[in-house]
Structure 1
Amino acid sequence: MTNQLNLVIVATLAIAVTSSFAQSWLEPTFYLYTRANRGNNAPETLKYQSSSSIEASHFNGAVPTKVITHGYFDSSSRGKWMEEMAGRMLDAEDVNVIIVDWSNANRGFYPVAVANAKLVGAMVGREIELLGQTTNASAGSFHLLGHSLGGHLVSFAGKHLKGALGRITGLDPAGPSFQGRPSWDRLWPTDAQFVDVIHTDGNNLGMWETTGHLDFYPNGGVATQPGCNEERTSE
């Protein structure tokens, strides 16, 4: 009975993604960085489900795309690590890098943020579909990286796309509300062609369970990792 109820809830949430009300308060912001516009010291903003904003941008469907997102209570303005990661990626190769800011839906009561992450994940999946339709980019050319709660958010993008994504990387995916959950309700190997996971806080807010094709546990996968400061800015 419980599983049936969960399936009903998930189906209801999936339907809600298409409603204008849900989009108005859950709508994520997509910040695009490429080698063509990085010198301007400001990303281009891709408006959700707007093909015209994609066409007006430097997004190149012929090169790979990296999508980075944050976790609970974090944001693109607070999470400077995402900008640094984007810069390192562009140094290494010619790619599109998109930072997904969903900070209008990740605050307050944690269980609500968990539910919102599932909805926003499906919205990210829809945006990837639109990018493909507009630029001929294939789902297999996308690599999604999500931190903590964002590690599960990207899994719901993968589920929306029926596992067609090229790769998902879970960066210390959140444990609360996900540990022990079934495959349809958490990060799972079938969410992309390849799923790798780095566990670095398994004894606190992260997960112990394996949840990818390859799972890594640096220094035993527990906090605090060498070289990292102890100040916690997000889950």
Structure 2
Amino acid sequence: MKFIGTIILIISLTVKGTAGMHINRSILGSSASDIVRGLSSQSIREIPAPDQLFSTAIKVLLGFPEQAVFTVLNQACSIYLASGAINPRITPNVEEMYFELRTPCKNISVPIAQPEQLVNLEEFDAEKKVVIFVSGWGSDGKEDSYIQDFANAFFCRGEHNVVYINTGNSVQTLYTWSAFNTEEVGNILAESLKGLTESVPVENIHLVGHSLGAQIVGKAGRQFKDLTGQSLPRITGLDPANPCFNEGEELSGISRGDATFVDIIHSNPGVLGKPKSLGDVDFYPDGKRAIKPGCVRFGCSHERSIRYYIETVYPANEQNFLGKRCNSLQSLNAGHCDGTEHAMGYAVDHDLKGNYYLNVNADQPYGKNAPADAVVQPNQCGLCGRK
């Protein structure tokens, strides 16, 4: 951690362009609070804005291993939270946020602040379940194939209204601002869900979030409970974002209790995704290794959680991923884990508790228990003009 503190100091000085900051040597401590205590009040005031620090960090850390970069950025987030030096923020604008109803033939957007418009759409069926997906940092829903793939899988089931949350710039801005915005975006979503449940039974709503989106849906679940006294039935977190979400700090993130049932799929633990168990049940495909089979970069592994989940949504694929409650993948592979195998993903048993481990394939179908004719992308189902 001394390395991390040193790097952050270098970045700060690089941005400020001054050697006049009053820095106590104790800044090279092992935690963010240690570092902040080592800064004079003048130095705290001169901490560069997150957008300055993080853009400079990428340049200073160019050539370092990805994991080292993300570790430094995570520590920088902690420093900002501990120092209070994060104002003014780039705050979410509710007028730029939309519900996007996805259908096989078209996508229809309505303001998130007006959920009654969503319910009144001819294409929305209030008798069906509603799955609401919130993506992560840098995603706008237009060019990310996994968002449409997510919708296509549900189209094949024919049992759901599929809604994507377009958050405008709130999770597309520089990662730090996006992370700091998750609480407020979650509050906005919760307020809208309160209105939605005037027409849709709360038991029919399922929130799914990836990366920062997972942290948003967690906050939405907590806030919805505060607003209504009711719990959402299920929230699914797909590799919840790790950088900036540390225990005991302001950004607490998704956790058990945010809904009646919270299930988590970890695919890049310890780097872009949280490594610790967070939900009622946590699944660790390929264990806690940061790089998943078939990937060479962290980003690929981070997205794998979505790909695994999508595969389970297609009819007849519900049992593709079977895990056992265990302490590690090594124990599982050594035959030391007793008990019954349980499905990960769409058809997970809502009574499950604990950590479950399983092996996965490098290519589609990713599930080791997938049938030979497993559908992993739409061909004859879920397309415009077809059921």
What TM-score comes out, normalization by structure 2 length?
0.50
**Candidates 166, 169, 185, aligned match of 2:236:** 169
> Could you report, residue by residue, the CA deviation over 1:33-91 in whole angstroms, capped at 9, with x for unpaired residues?
2xxx42x2x21212222224531342222211111111111220132201111110121
> Could you report, residue by residue, the CA deviation over 1:160-182 in whole angstroms, capped at 9, with x for unpaired residues?
11161111111000111213247
Q: Which has the higher contact order (CA 8 A, sep 6+)?
A: 1
Aligned residue identity for 2:151: A
1:47-196 equivalences in 2 (<5 Å): 47-50=111-114, 51-133=116-198, 135=199, 137-162=200-225, 164-181=231-248, 185-196=252-263
Report if aligned partners of 2:244, 2:251 keep a CA contact under 8 Å in 1: no
Change (3 A) 1:116 1:182: closer
Residue matched to 2:54: none
Aligned residue identity for 1:32: L
1:177-216 equivalences in 2 (<5 Å): 177-181=244-248, 185-216=252-283
Residue matched to 2:371: none
Residue matched to 1:30: 99
Over the residues paired in the alignment, what is the CA RMSD in angstroms? 2.7
Structure 1 portions without partners, runs of 5+: 10-16
> Could you report, residue by residue, the CA deviation over 1:137-159 in whole angstroms, capped at 9, with x for unpaired residues?
12221111111111100011101
Aligned residue identity for 1:221: K
Report if aligned partners of 1:44, 1:57 keep a CA contact under 8 Å in 2: no
> What is the CA distance between 1:108 and its match in structure 2?
3.4
Report if aligned partners of 2:140, 2:172 keep a CA contact under 8 Å in 1: no
Aligned residue identity for 1:120: V
SS at match of 2:192: helix
Residue matched to 1:13: none
Residue matched to 1:43: 107
Runs of 4+ residues over 6 Å off in structure 1 = none
Report if aligned partners of 1:65, 1:141 keep a CA contact under 8 Å in 2: yes
Change (3 A) 1:184 1:213: farther
SS at match of 1:32: strand
> What is the CA distance between 1:227 and its match in structure 2?
3.4
Identity, % of aligned positions: 27
Give me the whole-angstrom Cα distance separating, in 1, the residues matched to 2:289 and 2:246.
15
Give me the whole-angstrom Cα distance separating, in 1, the residues matched to 2:249 and 2:224.
18
Change (3 A) 1:157 1:69: same
Report if aligned partners of 1:46, 1:54 keep a CA contact under 8 Å in 2: no
Change (3 A) 1:64 1:184: farther
Give me the whole-angstrom Cα distance separating, in 1, the residues matched to 2:211 and 2:292.
15
Give me the whole-angstrom Cα distance separating, in 2, the residues matched to 1:147 and 1:59.
24
> Could you report, residue by residue, the CA deviation over 1:175-211 in whole angstroms, capped at 9, with x for unpaired residues?
1121324798211111111100011111311111111
Change (3 A) 1:97 1:181: farther
Give me the whole-angstrom Cα distance separating, in 2, the residues matched to 1:55 and 1:177.
38
SS at match of 1:128: helix
Aligned residue identity for 1:45: S
Which stretch has the larger CA shift, 124-133 or 141-150? 124-133
Report if aligned partners of 2:215, 2:253 keep a CA contact under 8 Å in 1: yes
Give me the whole-angstrom Cα distance separating, in 2, the residues matched to 1:228 and 1:65.
32
Number of aligned residue pairs: give it. Answer: 210
